[in-house]
Structure 1
Amino acid sequence: MDKNFPISGFSSLAIHGGHVQDPNYAHLTPIYAASTYVFDTAEQGMRRFSGQEEGYIYSRWGNPTMTEAEDKIAAMETFGLDFEVKGILHASGMAAISTLFLANLKQGDKVLSHFSLYGGTQEILNRLLPETGVQSTIVDLRDLNKAEEALQQDPAIKMLYLETPANPTIQCVDIEELTKLAKKYGKIVACDNTFATPYLQQPFKFGVDFVVHSTTKFLNGHGTIIGGILLGRNIEFMKTHATKIHRLLGGNSNSFDAFLLVNGMKTLEVRMERHCNNAMAVAHFLQSHDAVAKVNYNGLPEHPDHLVALKQMRHPGAMMSIELKDGLVAGVKMMNKLKLCTRTVSLGTCDTLLCHPASMTHAGVPKEQREKYGITDGLIRMSIGMENVQDILADLDQALR
């Protein structure tokens, strides 16, 4: 594609963005299965190590397949915006989150975050960061007064960390208003955009400094890789300090996973449209089902965060969670009776996935904290897939009866 062509559509960008013509003119950027790269001269090697010359050195530091994935996601996260961001591909979403925290926080700093985060993120805040002298403060950030009160009262807070929609309660927080508050007090803002993807939500549009993704999920879309990415608005910081932390931690991606990620992302828009349309139908069906006590889905007007989701998302998304009237016992029976949908953790694949967060994704979070955050023993999380919606509904109905 000619780089000067004015792309006007998201799918065109998802297909062509980030691609650089391979020197051997392969149609797709190949899997660069090389651990290290050769220098023409000793002087060239010196220039590359010193940063005076661009070029590949060692695949822990990057290679062409990984670069295309980084550049494609960066382009999607800033589509329609008038600035660029820099992405660093990681071995997992947790590796990307680790780089984010360790590159920005030091002993004595605090992270302000909210109820209901991915279990791994919750554990890193509660267990690992305190060992480095970094503490966390958790408040209900859907209440802007509470958010400002926390920022006012504690100057040690350095970062505001958001996850919206949040895992697994699907709570939404207002990215724009919270970012304004954080910037008023000179704080860094980071946002996990995994559930939404850049197609449904662009946190950089609202002024955040960093975005993280588990690329394992909707970005890849097929359940074939583990990966993550950290994207930053301060390109110099990302190329220097964040890159150094990433390389030293060793949480690099690899060319095979990057290849699968690149090709998965090309269908992101069409996949998300099907996921989202199916999710809306499933939410309405479950809302009226006799066995269901509660449906957590931002697309329903009854959801407390419905208006926030409409404000900052193209569509409320493909994720939801439900509470059954008979609690955990009913949930176990339902999951055991599934015939089409899949019992597994993770999300964002073509098939509909159901899991039990309290015993699976959030098993490492103490029970009292889980319940405080709305993650009850009877909660079932659902990632709505791309099957024909009538088949999803028929399987859920028979499993609930």
Structure 2
Amino acid sequence: MADQNFPLTGFGSLAIHGGHEQDPQYAHLTPIFATSTFVYDSAEQGMRRFSGEEKGYIYTRWGNPTMTEAADKIAAMESFGLTDGSGNPLAIKGYLQASGMAAISALFMSTLKTGDKILSHYSLYGGSQELMDKLLPDFGISAVIVDLRDLNKAEEALKADPAIKMIYLETPANPTLQCVDIEALTKLGKQYGKIIACDNTFATPYLQQPFRFGVDFVIHSTTKFLNGHGTSIGGAFLGRDIEFMNTWGGKVHKMLGGNSNPFDAFLLVNGMKTLEVRMERHCHNAMEVAGFFEGHAAVSKVNYTGLPNHPDHYIAAKQMRHPGAMLSIELKGGLQAGINMMNRLRMCTRTVSLGTCDTLMCHPASMTHYSVPKEKREQYGITDGLIRISVGMENIQDIIADINQAL
């Protein structure tokens, strides 16, 4: 086991060693603590555990060593190299969730109440959009959607509606890859006393650290790049207010019951150890694929912030280490062209989700964003001819050859 006091200077080292505590049996790798509950040496110890006087595990829905390591590793990566206002290493508290949607639910339910509003932007993950449109209104919580790439519109919305309590960001956004300025929006939001939350799933903490820019909360679907192998569903709910996360935030996490489980946490821990090297290959391939699409006669538009002509190129470059592994394209032939391309794929995988080692392609209008009304999809830039691609780690020549023959 690495000395926890040894100063790790590289993200890759942190991804491997961060968050790990040696178990009593000295296992090399993190064990799967497959137990629903934990025992006590005495009735008094149980009392101390429940009262919070003594640290320790009680019930796996409340916490489990395997789940703790996964959450602590994500928190360590999101805060790597960051400091607080006093110059000390930034402390982040995280909880491992059953899915990304469970993480979003824990975020909203712990911070919002009846009458509150969320300010967000176009082109969000379909599940997030549906939650805001169809579920939260039943609890008296609604969303205000504007183009947050325009700071003037963002401020107009804040001035016009004091009921807005949270600014919710997803950048790069799904599936148009729109990017918003985290730093500028956080600064603006704080001027008006708002909570700032950011979905960092597409970027991962290797490419982008929203806490660097002062956001209050970060959420992840760990199912994606963090796991990296498509073997488990999971999410993470992280906050910089340690007292809140240890009290009400943690209480809501426990009460909603959207916790992860030891086996999925075990898979996640092992997947995250290779995050840096995987993302380097993903990103290299994505840049090559974007360049190929840009010059193809069948493609009318390429949504990839690594291309200088993308409207959000400079925002992405300011806050991300690399433009990332996700891109989308619009085909000139519309829906039928998309169907034809998808059906002709021979190596790339036809499926939803993202972040696995293989290249994944999907048609958002009929898949991930099917529940979003057509008029809203088109307003957000999700056309019938849009194809979303999670560029994998295969040989780049093979990826491009398959896409080329499919087109």
TM-superposition CA deviations, 1:324-368 (whole Å, max 9, x none):
110110010000000010000000000000000011101111111
Structure-2 residue corresponding to 1:81: 82
Aligned partners of 2:184 and 2:232: how far apart in 1? 34
The one of 330, 337, 341 aligned to 1:334: 341
Q: What residue in structure 2 maps to residue 29 of structure 1?
A: 30
**3-state secondary structure, aligned to 1:122:** helix
Q: Percent identity of the aligned residues? A: 76
Aligned partners of 1:331, 1:377: CA distance in 2, in Å? 8
Q: Whole-Å Cα distance in 2 between the matches of residues 86 and 375 of structure 1?
A: 35
Q: Match for 1:197 among 190, 204, 229?
A: 204
What is residue 390 of structure 1 aligned with on the other side? 397
Taking the TM superposition and a 5 Å limit, the aligned residue runs for 1:258-277 are 258-277=265-284
Q: Distance in 2 between matches of 1:149 and 1:294?
A: 31
Q: 1:293-333 CA deviation, whole Å, 9 max, x = no partner? A: 11000000010000000000000000000001101100100
Partner of 1:316: 323
Letter of the 1:127 partner, please give it.
Answer: K
1:94-115 per-residue CA deviation (whole Å, 9 max, x = no partner) reads 0000000000000010000000
CA displacement, residues 203-242 of structure 1 (integer Å, 9 cap, x when unaligned): 0000000000000000000000000000000011111101
- Aligned residue in 1 for 2:87: none
CA deviations on 1:275-297 (whole Å, 9 max, x unpaired) are 00000000000100111111000
2:297 is aligned, of 280, 290, 296, to 290
Give the structure 1 partner of residue 13 of structure 2: 12
So what's the TM-score if we normalise by structure 1? 0.99
How far is 1:43 from its partner?
Answer: 1.0
Aligned positions of 1:127-146 closer than 5 A? 127-146=134-153
User: What is the SS of the residue equivalent to 1:354?
Assistant: strand
What is the CA distance between 1:136 and its match in structure 2? 0.6
Query: Counterpart amino acid of 2:179?
Result: C
CA drift of 1:186 comes to 0.3
Counterpart among 140, 161, 165 of residue 168 in structure 2: 161
From 280, 284, 288, the counterpart of 1:281 = 288
Runs of 5+ consecutive residues of structure 2 not aligned to the other structure? 84-89
Q: Does 1:352 align with 2:353?
A: no
Distance 2:53 2:121 in 1: 42
Cα distance in 2 between the residues matched to 1:240 and 1:328: 49
Q: How many aligned residue pairs are there?
A: 400
Give unpaired runs (5+ residues) of structure 1.
Answer: none
Distance 1:236 1:49 in 2: 18
Task: Please name the residue that 2:71 is paired with.
Answer: 70
Distance in 1 (CA, whole Å) between partners of 2:149 and 2:131 is 22
The alpha carbon displacement at 1:3 in A equals 1.4
**Amino acid in structure 2 at the alignment position of 1:167:** N
**Code of the aligned partner of 1:34:** T
Identify the match of residue 181 of structure 1 among 188, 191, 199.
188
Report the 3-state secondary structure (helix = DSSP H, G, I; strand = E; otherwise coil) of the residue aligned with 1:301: coil
Structure 1 residue aligned with 2:86 = none
User: 2: CA distance between counterparts of 1:154 and 1:48?
Assistant: 44
Q: Which residue of 2 aligns with 1:61?
A: 62
Deviation, structure 1 residue 51: 1.1
Paired AA for residue 58 in structure 2: I
1:244 corresponds, among 247, 251, 254, to 251
Partner amino acid for 2:378? E
Deviation at 1:391, TM superposition (A): 0.2
Runs of 4+ in 1 over 4 A off after TM superposition: none
CA RMSD of aligned residues (A): 0.5
3-state SS, counterpart of residue 87 of structure 1: strand
Distance in 2 (CA, whole Å) between partners of 1:365 and 1:116 is 10
Equivalent-residue separation in structure 2 for 1:194 and 1:3 (angstroms): 27
Query: Which residue of 1 is the match for residue 178 of structure 2?
Result: 171
Instruction: Look up the equivalent residue of 2:49 and give its one-letter code.
Output: R
Inter-partner Cα distance in structure 1 for 2:255 and 2:42: 26
Paired amino acid for 2:373: P
In the alignment, the residues of structure 1 paired with residue 303 and residue 4 of structure 2 have an alpha-carbon distance, to the nearest angstrom, of 43
Alpha-carbon distance in structure 1 between the residues aligned to 2:17 and 2:311: 38
With structure 2 as the length reference, what TM-score do the two structures score? Answer: 0.98
Secondary structure at the residue paired with 2:218? strand
Aligned to 2:311: 304
